[in-house]
A and B are shown apart, each in its own frame.
Chain A
């Protein structure tokens, strides 16, 4: 089987677009969370979100009419363009049937559902326009990337909610590893929408002021939006074309809690199994893991369950492995989250720096690990784990390693 490496990174996030801006902001501990602007929150109990502001789709979308695409597709195409440019892969030299797209999402293109209901409320069902439906199914996101860059290979959406980015990267990894594709664009995308915002608000899961993962006084998560795309290819191909290599994908693990639709298993059953499978498949040991990018949403139960799971698997070593949550800065970008976090992991491996958990003030006795509080740290990690958990009890952990020539 072929070794798989990451050779291009593209992100569109609430703290900046393009990996250089993004990384600089992450290491500086900059927050992308602010008052929601995309809809009126006056009837909500909470008002903050992590939106991608000043996004100009025309800057990124050239082969299609930007306004024909849903916002998640727009963000995704932008991230794909940035990733392709960053990889310096010359698509003209590829067999397009062997270049594919694999994306994850939580809500797909929910703004079409919102529009459907807005029209229904204002003018009745008769006024629903005919061109809306084909733009809605969530697989339009990878389809629109394929159309934009004329890619003819495998094209799949894996809508496994907030773990979807890791699933999609895993699928891309499998296709490259097995020799079924030569280049894969893999990642995740979600658009800011009132639908999940209403749901999380009603569950009382949204923080009022800021996102404080693992802090004793954490109040919840903050919904966000964004997209990330990683360029995956075989090590052999990357070396042949003298590509920059950010990191190697070693393996991943998937599991299901089969416990509760929205709450994590209290002992982290599925989370432990997903991490263990990822480590096992990667042929490394627990002692090799130098950094964990936490799912770390900032809700009381998620952060506790994740800390318990890491302690259960890592034992005495648990407190010695730094584990941070960049959701403290980015909010929870839903299906894009684990893809954006995978980009952060790749950059940590490449630059030697690990990003902090900001807003961390008071340790929680139930969360007793090293969360890299408030300051980025230079640790030169060699092997890292990227955790992602989702509604439906879906768990996905991805293992990445520094690539040294």
Chain B
């Protein structure tokens, strides 16, 4: 029950590239994927994956039935398996100890809406039965399991913007209870016309087309898309297959504090409690945190809430801890964002430097944010993922040391 849960690899696809190496290179160069959209017209600003050609990883076979969300997840699975010395299973047997937990906020919203639209316009007898399976929220995880013969636990979790960190936490718990040997855990979110339109209508998107986490003149978020999966296993499993751990999941905290599903709690009770619980479950104090990877996404109230929560926990030391907000570069990837931030934390721990926070202006904040990479000396990173639906999660990751 108390086994250490280590991370031995990762797969990622985002507007900053495919695979950890490409993602890391773009992120640390200060690049940003926030640009006029090719998918939805130039008047929309998004952080989308351009020229997405999944065939180069997934091949052509069976790809027609996969919608964009399943394709994104499959590319991340492909990268994760290749990047962690888990061979792609070509025996066709599959591994009953290998599973996946996918965090998502909307799942395959576009497939769901299109299917309904087709029935509404053409009549229920004309919907394409091949498209029906894609209308369940867990379809990307199910499709990925079929494609990569993942026969172990297959779960999908949704906690809004906290979905990615919840997936990592659930994965760690499943491993501790001995329910699987290796789990690919993280998140996935597609950009689609329904989410772009819906977020736009709800007033959450930046009218100025800029994503400026913690910025003085921040005016909303920019949607992104992608998928990140971390390869989770127990310390013993990693040792048995001579896989080199990269970091470990030390602590997790969650707290719900909504009074409605569409407003941040500026008093930050839940956000604060989640950080405190994550630190307590890692068995460390706030002074041991070397860097913070924040989920801040340019929301006026959300970022204000986050600053308050960090102040509540770190107090005077907050101005001395390096912090970064990767959503400035990768956009608000919703259900994927917690996993992307956890991946960034892992990279930062390995490099002992946080990546730049793109789009930062001078005098924006008293936090230790920078347009450049910031070196630090520390074993632990804190990752935050707070949502306006009341879900607040925090995770403590530790650089691997025996």
Contact = CB atoms under 8 A, between A and B. Distances in A.
Interface of A: 1, 43-45, 64, 97, 100-101, 105-108, 110, 113-114, 116-118, 120-121, 125, 128-140, 143-144, 146-147, 151-161, 167, 171, 174, 178, 194-203, 253-262, 269-270, 273, 277, 281, 390-394
Contact of B146 (A114, A132, A261, A281): A261
B129 A153 contact: no
A174 B146 CA distance: 27
Contacts of A128: 197-198, 201
A98 to B, nearest CB: 10
B152 to A, nearest CB: 7
A160 B154 CA distance: 8
| Interface range for B | 35 or more
Contacts, number: 248
A256 B258 contact: no
A236 B151 CA distance: 36
Contact of A258 (B151, B194, B203): B151
A87 to B, nearest CB: 20
Contacts of B170: 156, 171
Interface stretch (B42-50, B156-164, B298-306, B366-374): B156-164
B135 A196 contact: yes
A158 B141 CA distance: 12
Contacts of A139: 105, 158-160, 163, 389, 391
21 contacts: A43-B123, A100-B256, A106-B137, A108-B158, A110-B116, A117-B116, A120-B117, A128-B201, A132-B198, A135-B262, A139-B389, A140-B261, A146-B256, A152-B255, A160-B155, A161-B138, A195-B115, A195-B116, A256-B152, A259-B146, A392-B145
Given A195-B135, A254-B155, A391-B133, A134 B116 contact: no
Contact of B145 (A44, A125, A256): A256
Interface string B252-285: 0011111111100000011001000100000000
Given A107-B137, A161-B136, 16 more contacts: A105-B137, A117-B113, A121-B120, A133-B202, A135-B261, A146-B390, A156-B159, A157-B159, A158-B157, A160-B138, A160-B155, A195-B112, A199-B129, A203-B132, A254-B99, A277-B179
A170 B260 CA distance: 27
A232 to B, nearest CB: 15
Contact of B254 (A132, A155, A194): A155
A261 to B, nearest CB: 4
B269 to A, nearest CB: 8
A239 B266 CA distance: 39
Interface of B: 1, 65, 94, 96, 99, 105-107, 109, 112-113, 115-117, 119-121, 123-125, 127-129, 132-133, 135-139, 141-143, 145-146, 148-160, 163, 166, 170, 173, 176-177, 179, 194-195, 197-199, 201-203, 254-262, 269-270, 273, 277, 388-391
